[in-house]
Copies of this chain bind each other. A is one copy, B any other.
């Protein structure tokens, strides 16, 4: 079965790929708005890990709407959720050709989060399975699995190459409001970037 996994090259989505690879033909899929080339970091990681890779074109209007929401809120949560839902819809669309779609959301994630009803709706409308392989794993279990299975680089968000659309959303905010606004919306938090896996 062909499965497309929304991929950021971070530890959660990489761990999700490892959990699924025994059971599906996994393609790592990184959404991008055509704003920057940051998605290429994800392709490099996918190549290093031996996974198929595709990029997924997202609607730039959704990026602009998400940035509007984030600037108004002063925090990224609702904007990120909006973009994640859009990316899942694009991934599940018939043109993508996948039998199943997946993401790296964990049990304890506040955002993005896909409810049971949203999952069922996505499956019914697009005729695919939606799978969140980390939905039954808490933060501690994920951390221990990451330690045991992944080589990871950790650092502040602005210094770590982000492969997914978060980098593009940061770029959009900096263009519109200046670089300082990025730090207001995305409070300092550590990002991770996977460099290798142990199989």
List residues of A whose CB falls within 8 A of some B CB: 1, 18-19, 22-23, 100, 105, 107-108, 116, 119-120, 123, 129-138, 140-141, 144-145, 148-149
User: Which of B1, B22, B138 is A144 in contact with, Cβ under 8 Å?
Assistant: B1
Q: How far is the CA of A45 from the CA of B41 in the complex (A)?
A: 45
Copies in the complex: 2
Q: Is the interface of A mostly helix, strand, loop or mixed?
A: mixed
Residues of B within 8 A of A129 (CB): 137-138, 140-141, 144
Query: Could you tell me if A138 and B148 are in contact, using CB atoms closer than 8 angstroms?
Result: no
Residues of B within 8 A of A136 (CB): 105, 131-136
Residues of B within 8 A of A141 (CB): 100, 129-131
Q: How far is the CA of A88 from the CA of B23 in the complex (A)?
A: 27
Residues of B within 8 A of A134 (CB): 136
Query: Could you tell me if B138 and A120 are in contact, using CB atoms closer than 8 angstroms?
Result: yes
Query: Could you tell me if B140 and A131 are in contact, using CB atoms closer than 8 angstroms?
Result: no
Q: How far is the CA of A132 from the CA of B130 in the complex (A)?
A: 16
Closest to A145 in B: B23
Residues of B within 8 A of A148 (CB): 1, 23
Q: How far is the CA of A73 from the CA of B22 in the complex (A)?
A: 42
Residues of B within 8 A of A123 (CB): 138, 140
Query: Could you tell me if B140 and A119 are in contact, using CB atoms closer than 8 angstroms?
Result: no
